[in-house]
Chains A and B, each alone.
Chain A
């Protein structure tokens, strides 16, 4: 395959998948950073093109898996930067660097911002990226059963946070505790 053919192949992959890959990144980081991440995703994909799945949908999931790791690297860099700022300013609280910080009175944004990285990613994959359980399992590299379990727990924790924010007690909490108490039957 010559350089022209390789270029065409790259452009075809880019055009077929760009919309979903860019949307995935924009849901997780700011616009400028998303451009960097998307460029990095396709750069990595091109270097690893021998592992590119043949089906269109599988290729998108594969790219989303790469995007997840590139974003994680980006977050690590941001955390390093934040720790440096914290040290320099000798402040008690870390500076806010994420774009998912509480936004005014938005309870959901606040609850998501308080969630763990794993919970937040799972909920976004399920409700924003609209991936099936099987597709989520593929992107995260875990079993469908694990997706079910973790998604259920992520929803429960989010519901509790939203309930706490509005001053209500979660009625499912008691049920879950009972289930835990009698989990081994």
Chain B
């Protein structure tokens, strides 16, 4: 079985290492690409990457409705309620923290749109649950038809469990306010108490260390919430640094 070092070496050796002329900014290829960018910048036109022939894509779009897809739990609920994506102009997007207990995804994106994308928010925004495995919340410019266009379902709000998780997140942040180092035992104790308080049945905490090379650190923080697995993943935190709460 591969040791850590062997696995590391194998991964590094697997790098195709593109280099030479392919990545030379003075190569004829680079010059052609730069010329394309200049033309695009001058015309300021939106160019969307389309690899398949337009006719084929049209047919695919028409037939897309015949394929089944799962978005979140299939009922308009995301399986990742701690963040959302605001789908901005020019292929840009921004991922922001989200509290489904107190926030509305459309309002949240609208409030930050100008700052994130440098232009006013569109008149109509719609929240959808996308067709990724966990079904993330994505806010698109436009009406409800945008959900169908992106093979997504309209977002219908949080589940009861997600509301419990939202309250858990609020409480644990308030409990440890101003703290910059919380030991693992203390962290786990408070997690247990708050999991019980908010009826998060089946939820547990877990810890993964960096490639098993480091012992459990002196301070803990929450890395992320894995809602499908009902797990709160803890990771090491640097003592003295402010804690970022997901």
Among the 9-residue stretches B22-30, B105-113, B159-167, B170-178, the one with 4 or more Cβ atoms under 8 Å from chain A is: B22-30
Interface residue count on the A side (C-beta < 8 Å): 75
A88 to chain B, nearest CB (A): 9
Query: B37 to A10, Cβ gap below 8 A?
Result: yes
Query: A155 to B211, Cβ gap below 8 A?
Result: yes
A36 to chain B, nearest CB (A): 6
Expressed in whole angstroms, the Cα–Cα distance for A51 and B93 within the complex equals 13
Q: A73-B91, A112-B14 are in contact. Are A145 and B236 (CB under 8 A)?
A: yes
Query: A31 to B63, Cβ gap below 8 A?
Result: no
The A interface, classified by DSSP as helix, strand, loop or mixed, is: helix
Q: A7-B38, A42-B37, A180-B206 are in contact. Are A47 and B50 (CB under 8 A)?
A: no
Expressed in whole angstroms, the Cα–Cα distance for A66 and B89 within the complex equals 12
In the complex, per-residue mask of B172-216: 1 if CB is within 8 Å of any chain A CB, else 0:
000000000000010010011000000000001111111110000
Q: A19-B25, A127-B11 are in contact. Are A143 and B37 (CB under 8 A)?
A: no
Query: A22 to B14, Cβ gap below 8 A?
Result: no
Q: A81-B56, A84-B60, A152-B211 are in contact. Are A38 and B33 (CB under 8 A)?
A: yes
B40 at the interface (CB under 8 A from A): yes
Expressed in whole angstroms, the Cα–Cα distance for A66 and B50 within the complex equals 17
Q: A22-B22, A128-B15 are in contact. Are A84 and B63 (CB under 8 A)?
A: yes
Which chain B residue shows the least CB distance to A118? B133
A141 at the interface (CB under 8 A from B): yes
Cβ contacts under 8 Å, A39 to chain B? 33, 36-37, 40
Q: A35-B33, A43-B47 are in contact. Are A148 and B210 (CB under 8 A)?
A: yes
Interface positions of A from 107 to 145, Cβ below 8 Å from B: 108-109, 112, 116, 123, 126-128, 141-143, 145
Cβ contacts under 8 Å, B7 to chain A? 155, 158-159, 162
Query: A184 to B192, Cβ gap below 8 A?
Result: yes
Expressed in whole angstroms, the Cα–Cα distance for A84 and B67 within the complex equals 11
Query: A48 to B2, Cβ gap below 8 A?
Result: no
Cβ contacts under 8 Å, B236 to chain A? 145, 148
A7 to chain B, nearest CB (A): 7
Cβ contacts under 8 Å, A3 to chain B? 42
Interface positions of B from 27 to 64, Cβ below 8 Å from A: 29-30, 32-34, 36-38, 40-42, 44, 47-52, 56-57, 59-61, 63-64
B145 at the interface (CB under 8 A from A): no
Cβ 8 A contact of A141, one of B47, B51, B63, B95: B95
Q: Could you write out 12 A-B pairs with CB less than 8 Å apart?
A: A10-B37, A10-B38, A22-B30, A42-B33, A109-B14, A126-B11, A142-B224, A146-B223, A148-B210, A148-B236, A155-B7, A159-B7
